[in-house]
Amino acid sequence: MKEQIDSIQAEALAAIAAAADERSLDDARVAVLGKKGTLTLAAAGIKDVPKEDKAAVGQLLNAARTVITGALEEKQLAVREAADRAALAGIDITLPGRAVNTGSLHPLTILRDQAIGILRRMGFALAEGPEIEDEFHCFDALNTPADHPARNEKDTFYFDSGKLLRTHTSSVQVRTMESQKPPVRIIAPGSAYRRDEIDATHLSVFNQLEGLYVAEDVSLPDLKGTLEYFFRELFGTETEVRFRPHFFPFTEPSFEIDVKLHAKGQAPRWIEVAGCGMVDPAVFEAISKSRKDDAFDPAKVTGFAFGMGLDRLAMIRWGIKDIRLLIENDARFLKQFA
């Protein structure tokens, strides 16, 4: 039996040494250690060995298995290293590497995230709503009369069902007040749609961010302080901000907000960036009627709202002359923000 085991070991080691690749090495392994391998069959024959010799034969079998297994592992490492060297043989490692182009966030995404971050630090929560709206949430609840130009088919995208693509994210404010009692402090970033002719300053779809704060004793100084802080955080602490009286059907009093733009090579000039105002009591009355309670009774609560176009803010922030650059996906333009 000892001679048989020695012979199996010698043949196995010779086959392992002769293996040129992983497939031939695996064939050598199966021939010795497989279910019908020579060493496996020899181990099965130990039952026929006299009782007094079984221990010694068992030790010989284990020793042979250890030697063969070690040779297989060592040869496998050598075969793999040889394969790796062969794979690299045709590569010129002296050639310079190829640059990997890295992507970046879109400028609108950069500005939106910064704007949201500033307002979140002031306690505003994110809110969202559907982009396909009905006239109540988009116009009626916001004190917009039936003859208002925004409700004309020339200005708004209507569906045959009577629904429409929202013209502002103010509809999110309405839906939030319908589902939540005061205090309410939310911002609603998202897309808005209007039938504008596409040119250097207009698109038919744009990105808007609106805000709403409703509670007891919310005042005009709260609105002014909030937005002055916001625009100075966004454009720089030295940014000049001014409020001009204006008219919006859903706020009273209402204001346009301007910041002074300091463009290189040009005289400083005021540029409009947002609209705002104190929520009109008529809006609270419409919400109370929809909710069927007095949670938003204008005698109990006050609030302010504001809205701004993120596309316009991006154009001001980076001096972009044509708004269409923001939707054309021209890598030459976008790589400036990488």
More confident residue, 263 or 214: 214
> How far is the C-alpha of 310 from the C-alpha of 123, rounded, in Å?
20
Instruction: Tell me: do 111 and 28 sit in the same domain.
Output: no
CA distances to 115, 219, 231, 300 from 210, in Å: 11, 18, 14, 23
Q: Is residue 95 part of a domain?
A: no
- Looking at residue 1, its pLDDT comes to 67
- 252 pLDDT higher than 90: yes
How many other CB atoms sit within 10 Å of the CB of residue 293? 11
Instruction: Tell me: do 130 and 79 sit in the same domain.
Output: no
How many other CB atoms sit within 10 Å of the CB of residue 26? 14
Q: Is residue 98 part of a domain?
A: no
- 106 pLDDT higher than 70: yes
Q: Is residue 240 part of a domain?
A: yes
Q: Is residue 102 part of a domain?
A: no
Q: Structure tokens of 15?
A: 């086959």
Element (H, E) at 260: strand 251-261
Amino acid at 12: A
Compute the Cα dihedral for 244, 248, 254, 256 and give only its sign. negative
Instruction: Tell me: do 186 and 294 sit in the same domain.
Output: yes
pTM for this predicted structure: 0.69
Instruction: Tell me: do 57 and 187 sit in the same domain.
Output: no
Compute the Cα dihedral for 268, 271, 273, 277 and give only its sign. positive
Return all residues near 9 (Cβ < 8 A) that are at least 6 apart. Answer: 39, 64, 67, 68
Give the total number of structural domains in the chain.
Answer: 2
- Looking at residue 104, its pLDDT comes to 85
Chain mean pLDDT for the chain = 89
More confident residue, 90 or 253: 253
What is the per-residue pLDDT across 52-67, written as a single tens digit (0 to 9) for each?
A: 777 877 788 788 888 8
Q: If you average pLDDT over each of 3-17, 88-102, 185-199, which comes out highest?
A: 185-199
Query: Which structural domain range is residue 61 located in?
Result: 2-88
Q: What is the C-alpha R_g of the chain? A: 38
Domain boundary among 61, 88, 115: 88
Residue 166: band (very low, low, confident or very high) from pLDDT cuts 50, 70, 90: very high
Q: Is residue 99 part of a domain?
A: no
Instruction: Tell me: do 306 and 261 sit in the same domain.
Output: yes
> How far is the C-alpha of 298 from the C-alpha of 305, rounded, in Å?
15
Annotated ligand binding at 73? The verdict is no
> How far is the C-alpha of 79 from the C-alpha of 134, rounded, in Å?
71
What percentage of the chain has pLDDT greater than the value 70? 99
Backbone angles phi, psi at 9, to 5 degrees: -65, -45
Domain boundary among 88, 123, 154: 88
- Looking at residue 268, its pLDDT comes to 85
Q: Is residue 101 part of a domain?
A: no
Instruction: Tell me: do 81 and 124 sit in the same domain.
Output: no
- Looking at residue 125, its pLDDT comes to 96
Instruction: Tell me: do 83 and 186 sit in the same domain.
Output: no
Instruction: Tell me: do 74 and 150 sit in the same domain.
Output: no
- Looking at residue 167, its pLDDT comes to 93
Cis upstream peptide for 253 (omega within 30°): yes
Domain boundary among 88, 118, 149: 88
CATH number of the CATH domain containing 132: 3.30.930.10
Instruction: Tell me: do 14 and 146 sit in the same domain.
Output: no
268-289 per-residue burial string, b: 16 or more CB within 10 A, e: under 16: eeeeebbbbbbbbbebbebbbe
Instruction: Tell me: do 230 and 264 sit in the same domain.
Output: yes
- Looking at residue 284, its pLDDT comes to 95
Q: Is residue 97 part of a domain?
A: no
Instruction: Tell me: do 203 and 265 sit in the same domain.
Output: yes
Q: Is residue 93 part of a domain?
A: no
Return all residues near 46 (Cβ < 8 A) that are at least 6 apart. Answer: 54, 57, 58, 61
Instruction: Tell me: do 60 and 149 sit in the same domain.
Output: no
What is the per-residue pLDDT across 276-299, written as a single tens digit (0 to 9) for each?
A: 999 999 999 999 999 999 999 999
What is the per-residue pLDDT across 310-326, written as a single tens digit (0 to 9) for each?
A: 999 999 888 898 999 99
- Looking at residue 259, its pLDDT comes to 92
